[in-house]
Amino acid sequence: MPKFYVETYGCQMNFADSEIIASLLQKEGYANTTELTEADYVLINTCAIRDNAEQRIRKRLRELRAAQQHNPKMRIGILGCMAERLQSQLMVEEEIVSFVVGPDSYRRLPEILKQVRQAGVKSAETELSTTETYDDIEPVRLNSNGISAYISIMRGCQNYCAYCVVPYTRGRERSRDPHTIVLEAQHLFDQGYKEVTLLGQNVNSYRWRCEGDEVDFPELMRRVAEVSPRLRVRFATSHPKDLSDKLLEVMSQYDNICKSIHLPVQSGSDRMLKLMNRHYDSAWYLDRIAAIRRYLPDCSITTDVIAGFCTETEEDHQQTLEMFRKVRYDYAYMFKFSMRPNTYAEKHLKDDIDETEKTRRLEEIIALQGKIALENNQLEVGKTFEVLVEGESHRSKEQLFGRNSQNKVIVFDRHNVQPGQYVLVRVKDCTAATLIGELVEQ
Ligand code: SAH
Ligand code: SF4
Ligand code: F3S
């Protein structure tokens, strides 16, 4: 059996896609290997979100040259968002790449691998689709802990935020048949999984219409939550413009829907938000935060932010810091703006904040957020949480780690507990990133 090796970069959706790719290939007689040196086909599932994400792939390709010299039969392919962005040009720029396959063409992979091998030709498939959701493919769980899994509920994005390549690399937004989503969740639960995360670029705009059945995201969450009270349900990502009270209400009705919302703010300045084409302003965003606090008083809130977008002034930057002080996020992914080819920003705006200034602003946000995260965690000391145990702590074999509903990592002494169990843990100490607790007798 020919063997394939998959390496994945980028967001959770790319990781979910790699599991679809593995499924498609296994069905056609290819075997998955985790040993690069054994691979007949090396598949790199790539990300194009920022320039440094692409640079990392270029560097990886230079390293792979050596692996290919040891194993001249090895064929290397680029999949995912960088494949879609650069298409066949990538095979010209990177000689060792034999095939390039975009996110909507994975069904063609078995055939492409055969062509590349038998005819010795190079191949690029990068057509985007308006309908492909891979809804009939049961993903093969790669590097899974057997406890939590991703379920892709939609693909694509058409929000066209001014800075973002995703609409160009992933195509039009489309939702997956809810019946196949619920079946996948049920199947995972039957196999012993305890947690699923529903994935989309903007899950709040999930919508399925078919023969009088209309399912929106709150309704989908309800159906997945009904699979079992012992199956935790999470989701990512919510666009603030579409976060509805109806969703918050459903979240409040089910204990197994985790109390954790990722709500990317991007900037605290109304002028920046408009220029970014985000379709909300700071008042709207703060209103959504207030709604979350109202329906779900113990919900954690996390965000994404970009420092140094085109024309951002010191005042705009200060407004971002102010937003962080107001919301008091539990965690934030913080980025320096990176100009991406073909986006609105690249066509119409200037990348006019120099690198040192971007770095300074980013570091200010990071420092503030670090302080807030620590203070938030200190408020958890003394509380008891239900924790889903995921595995051994990285620091010590004597300790396990897991997460509470709020998605915070908690470490504690293991006693007789096994990964996959739900346990009660009382928090006794913390850092900015981790809660430290002890098991509570049950
Ligand atoms: N669909 C999600 C975001 C997906 S991309 C949403 O809209 O919330 C993840 C994050 O990468 C974004 O939230 C944004 O903060 C960041 N990002 C996207 N494009 C970027 C760029 N050109 N430069 C820097 N950060 C960017
Ligand atoms: Fe990119 Fe905006 Fe779509 Fe998120 S919503 S993927 S930031 S275009
Ligand atoms: Fe990257 Fe594509 Fe995800 S650009 S962030 S892998 S959708």
Secondary structure of residue 137 in the 3-state scheme: coil
- Assess whether the C-beta atom of 167 lies below 6 angstroms from ligand 2: yes
Tens digits of residue pLDDT in 156-186: 999 999 999 999 999 999 999 999 999 999 9
- Give Cβ neighbours of residue 256 (< 8 Å, ≥ 6 apart): 225, 228, 229, 230, 231, 232, 233
What is the reported pLDDT for 118? 86
N residues, the chain: 442
Q: Is the CB of 358 under 6 A from ligand 1?
A: no
Split at pLDDT 50, 70, 90, the class of 29 is very high
Residue 120, pLDDT > 90, answer no
**pLDDT-based confidence at 213, cuts 50/70/90?**
confident
State mean pLDDT over 4-26: 98
CA–CA distance, 294 with 309 (Å, rounded to integer): 32
Mean pLDDT over residues 62-84, rounded? 95
**Mutate-to-test residue for ligand 3 from 12, 18, 49, highest number of ligand atoms within 8 A of CB:** 49
Reported as a pLDDT band with limits 50, 70 and 90, residue 212 is confident
Indicate if the pLDDT at residue 442 is higher than 80: no
30-55 pLDDT, tens digit each: 999 999 999 999 999 999 999 999 99
Instruction: Identify the nearest ligand to the CA of 338 by its number.
Output: 1
The DSSP-derived string for 262-301 is E---B-S-HHHHHHTT-S--HHHHHHHHHHHHHH-TT-EE
d(CA 33, CA 30): 10
Closest residue by Cα to atom 9, ligand 1, is 304
Residues 6 or more apart whose CB falls under 8 angstroms from that of 401 comprise 389, 390, 391, 392, 393, 394, 409, 410, 411, 412, 434
The predicted-structure confidence for 399-419, as pLDDT tens digits, reads as follows 999 999 999 999 999 999 999
Q: How does residue 143 score in pLDDT terms, banded at 50, 70 and 90?
A: confident
Q: How much distance in Å is there from the Cα of 159 to the middle of ligand 2? A: 6
Place of tokens 């062509």: 115
Given the CA of residue 343, which atom of ligand 1 is nearest to it?
A: 22
Band (367; pLDDT cuts 50, 70, 90):
very high
Cα 412 from Cα 433, distance rounded (Å): 14
pLDDT for the residue 347: 98
Residue of the nearest CA to atom 2 in ligand 1? 201
User: Residues 283-297: what's their mean pLDDT?
Assistant: 98
In sign, the C-alpha dihedral spanning 238, 240, 244, 249 is: positive
In which band, very low, low, confident or very high, does the pLDDT at 210 lie, cut at 50, 70 and 90?
A: confident
Of 21, 47, 150, the residue with max ligand 3 atoms within 8 A of its CB, to mutate for a pocket test, comes to 47
Ligand 1 center to 317 CA (angstroms): 17
Q: Is the pTM of this model over 0.95?
A: yes
Angle at 334 between CA 331 and CA 340, to 5 degrees: 145
Task: Establish whether the linkage from the previous residue to 237 is cis, with ω within 30° of 0.
Answer: yes
Q: Tell which residue, 412, 407, 406, has the closest CA to residue 424.
A: 412
Q: Tell me if 327 CB under 6 Å of ligand 3.
A: no
**Helix H or strand E segment including 12:** helix 12-27
How far, in Å, is the centroid of ligand 1 from the Cα of 275?
Answer: 15
Written as six digits, the tokens of 61 are 């390709």
d(CA 152, CA 52): 26
- Residue 427, helix vs strand vs coil: strand
Confidence label for 441 from pLDDT (cuts 50, 70 and 90): confident
Q: How many CB atoms lie within 10 A of CB 157?
A: 22
Whether ligand 1 lies within 6 angstroms of the CB of 138 is answered as no
> Quick one: tokens of 363?
């570091």
- What average pLDDT score do residues 287-304 get? 98
Please indicate whether residue 237, judged by its CB atom, sits closer than 6 Å to ligand 1: yes
Predicted confidence (pLDDT) at residue 396 exceeds the cutoff of 80: yes
pLDDT of residue 389: 98
Q: Write the pLDDT tens digit of every residue in 321-353.
A: 999 999 999 999 999 999 999 999 999 999 999
Percent of the chain with pLDDT over 90: 96
Interval between CA 435 and ligand 3 midpoint (Å): 30
The pLDDT mean for the chain works out to 97
Distance 339 CA to ligand 1 centre (A): 12
Tokens found for residue 233 = 């349900």
Q: Do the Cβ atoms of 157 and 343 come closer than 8 Å?
A: no
pLDDT band at residue 121 under the 50/70/90 scheme: confident
Give the Å distances, CA to CA, from 220 to 182, 235, 246: 8, 11, 12
